[in-house]
Homo-oligomer: A and B are copies of this chain.
Amino acid sequence: MPDILHRVGIAAPPERVFVALTSLDGLRSWWISEAKGDPRAGGEVDFGFCRMQVTEARPGTRVRWRCVSGPDEWVGTEVVFDLAWTDEQTIVLFRHAGWREPVEFMHHCSTKWATFLLSLRDQLESGAGRPAPRDVKIHVGD
């Protein structure tokens, strides 16, 4: 099954990146402004267009979600953020795994995730996150 893969480096410690992934204020600052729910291990977050169950949250190391509702292509897929400190930055290795087919929507989501991971970086480095609906647009009408 094909995966969406990304990698960014953030000039901030893994602990701060972890907070941005496991707190509502954090998630609202770089991904979805209207996020609701409980983003800690075992919790569930409502991002409006989808709901994610937090299946793993290891401080400073890894956050893993499972999509429990949302677009058909997303349900059952996993989103994993692996964090590692190296060369004065936190490397975020990102994987949105378990897509059944490499459909056109998967191409779209791959580009969109890149912009959101750079939004995460920009938020942590300079407070310049671009969460939806102020997100970076990637096509006319996005």
Interface on A for B, CB 8 Å cutoff? Answer: 2-11, 87-89, 91, 93-95, 102, 104, 106-108, 110-111, 114-115, 117-118, 121, 136, 138-142
Known: A114-B114, A114-B115. A107 touches B140 (CB 8 A): no
- 8 Å CB contact of A118 from B87, B91, B138: B138
User: Once bound together, how far apart are the Cα atoms of A102 and B82, in whole Å?
Assistant: 15
Contact (Cβ within 8 A) B114 A94: no
User: What does DSSP make chain A's interface, helix, strand, loop or mixed?
Assistant: mixed
Residue of chain B at shortest CB distance from A114: B114
Known: A5-B2, A102-B5. A93 touches B107 (CB 8 A): yes
Give the number of copies in the complex: 2
- A78 vs chain B, min Cβ distance (A): 14
- A132 vs chain B, min Cβ distance (A): 16
A-B contact pairs, 17 of them (CB 8 A): A2-B2, A2-B5, A5-B106, A6-B107, A6-B111, A7-B138, A8-B138, A10-B139, A87-B140, A87-B141, A89-B139, A89-B140, A91-B139, A110-B114, A111-B114, A114-B115, A115-B118
- 8 Å CB contact of A9 from B114, B136, B138: B138
Contact (Cβ within 8 A) A5 B7: no
Known: A89-B140, A138-B118. A3 touches B2 (CB 8 A): yes
On chain B, the residues within 8 Å of A108 by CB distance are 7
